[in-house]
Amino acid sequence: MDEPPLPPAPPLETCYRHPEERTAVHCTRCGRPICPACMVPAPVGHHCRTCVEEARREFRRGGLRVGARGLSATRVLLGAIVAMFLLEVALGGPGSFAGGSARTLVDLGALVPVLVATGQWWRLLTAMFLHAGFLHLALNAYALWLFGTLVEGTYGRWRFLAIYLVSGFLGSVASYAFGGLDVATLTSVGVGASGAIVGLLGAFIAYNYRRRHHAIAWANLRWALTIILINVVFGLTFPGVDNKAHLGGLLAGMAAGSLADGVGPARSRPLTRVLGFAGLVALGVALAAWRTAVIRTRLAAL
């Protein structure tokens, strides 16, 4: 018994940019036929070069402005942490250059849980501007320059500053609120801008996640998540890394980045952003107040 003949293969189309090239592949975004020279890998299938250029323009609209006029907030923050380090060295002597003087760091506002519990709440903010030695400063300064330039260009100067400060504050709060109650932890000295810097990375993730259907944003997401993975491995491998501050800063940065992103009619309203940021700060204050009560109870029992 004869089998029915197979249906004829559909005729090949020609590439929309190269009519001499025949192809059966189409752009998964617009449906244009594309030849191998015009294919750009996408999360699903391939995009044509026209769609990629359109996505790039849409992605940049209201976003990346690295060359914008005015004083760079990233440079101001870099200047602030360098100036504070020079003050550390001036007050603590040459030894502060190598590893930091604990006494000097405490005097300048390092995060010491038992001191925060006695009412010195400003340490939850000032600790992010101090560093324990030149190597600590150099690593954080490089990361701030790299991520700060990127995130400031994406969100603009003032929203970038708000993200940085809120992330640093909530990173300090996480370190304070979820640490141990033993004497060593309560009297430990914590410094560094890493919570705020990881928060910038969190904001960058939030920004690109909302645009993940674009190839550029998807590539940015993969890069940022790789950096986060490296940070996690580093934090679990080496002692002395405050993983609680990093996680708190990351989550705060993602939340702040979502609030600062002007996507959608509600999110574009300045009042919505202000109230959202105020809510994040209020959450930090509430956590710090709760932890203060716990520590005071612990100290009273000693």
Question: Which residues carry out catalysis?
Answer: 194, 246
End-to-end CA distance of the chain: give it in Å, rounded: 95
Q: If DSSP codes are grouped into helix, strand and coil, which group holds residue 190?
A: strand
Exposure of 157 by Cβ count < 10 A (0-12 exposed, 13-18 middle, 19+ buried)?
Answer: middle
- Are 173 and 284 in contact by the 8 Å Cβ rule? The answer is yes
- Determine the residue type at 26: H
DSSP one-letter code for 64: -
Interatomic CA distance for residues 155 and 157, integer angstroms: 7
Give the contacts of 68 (CB within 8 A, at least 6 positions apart). 153, 156, 157
Buried b (16+ CB within 10 A) or exposed e, 47-66: bbbbbbeebeeebeeeeeee
- Are 13 and 23 in contact by the 8 Å Cβ rule? The answer is yes
Interatomic CA distance for residues 226 and 216, integer angstroms: 16
